Amino acid sequence: MSENRTTLPGDRAVAYGALAPSALLLILLVAVPTITVIAVSMQSVGFGKTSGPFVGFNNFIWAFKSRDLARALGNTFVWVFGSVALEMILGLGFALLLNKTFVFRGIARAIILAPYLVPTVVAVLVWRYMFHDIIGVMNYILMEIGAIDAPMLWLNSQGTAMLTVIIVAVWKFFPFVVLAILGILQSIPQEQYEAAQIDGANDWQQFWRITLPHILPVFLLTALLRTIWTFHKFEIIYLLTGGGPVNATTTLPVLVYLKGFVDFELGRAAAIALLTMGIMFILMLLYTRGLKWAESRQ
């Protein structure tokens, strides 16, 4: 039975009035800062100032010519895709393992998810002491088992600094991937696996034909979220290495901080921040296309 509804003259005004606070808050939190950054990027603004001489696109021209930006961009892609790839692989593996029935499964799940609950600053400081070249437990263990002959400069060597920060990021955030994938794994009907076993399908065939199509949209969405969050992640790298040694771990967010609050070049820092936002937007579009493709396969 259908019900006819008539729109009263005041309904539209009530709707706009209800949406107005949220719209105003969105403008204050998003639009105003974005417009401010765009304005600052076209000026030569020093520290402690709110405006400066108008320089047009000179800050962007400098950014495209800067070797610092080129190196930071390369470091950012290594940092982001190295971290996210390992997080997704480990997260998928542990999720598949924790989805099985075994003794103390609840305790195992709690242990796996524990790193995600630790505050980032606390986790980073603990790992910083663990990687210390003199008092760190990492060097001690590796020397005890004979893997190395002398202490390694994990955080002070250009060859190991990026690897170190990636290890810390993966340890801290792969439980989020486990949580996301484990949730979708538990929603897959067990009857499909039982039917596949009756047809003689092995574990790999069951994973490829049943598990993967179900988890692929969530897997790609989780990868998108982790890419966005890792791309602008600042505190892990800054607390561990400060962007060093010799800019070996300087990513785009760290470079924005260094340009803005160390070199006091807020205009150039704003230009780099806008370029970073543009790169993130392109990555988001690529992931969105992949997500639509994955959903179309279901």
Structure tokens at 20: 């107005």
Note if the bond before 245 is cis, omega within 30 degrees. Answer: yes
Structure tokens at 127: 């790992």
Residue 50 vs residue 130, higher pLDDT: 130
Query: Nearest 5°: CA angle at 78, between 73 and 81?
Result: 115
Domain 57-296 in CATH 3.40.50.300? The answer is no
Structure tokens at 12: 């539209």
Residue 5 vs residue 21, higher pLDDT: 21
Q: Is 249 a residue whose pLDDT tops 90?
A: yes
What is the average per-residue pLDDT within 73-94? 95
Contact between residue 273 and residue 72 where contact means Cβ atoms under 8 Å apart: no
Give the tens place of pLDDT for each residue, 136-167. Answer: 899 999 999 988 888 899 999 988 999 999 99
What is the average per-residue pLDDT within 178-184? 92
Give the tens place of pLDDT for each residue, 70-81. Answer: 999 999 999 999
The pLDDT score that the predictor gives to residue 169 is 95
Residue 292 vs residue 76, higher pLDDT: 76
So where are the chain's domains? 57-296
The pLDDT score that the predictor gives to residue 1 is 42
Give the tens place of pLDDT for each residue, 207-225. Answer: 888 888 889 888 988 998 8
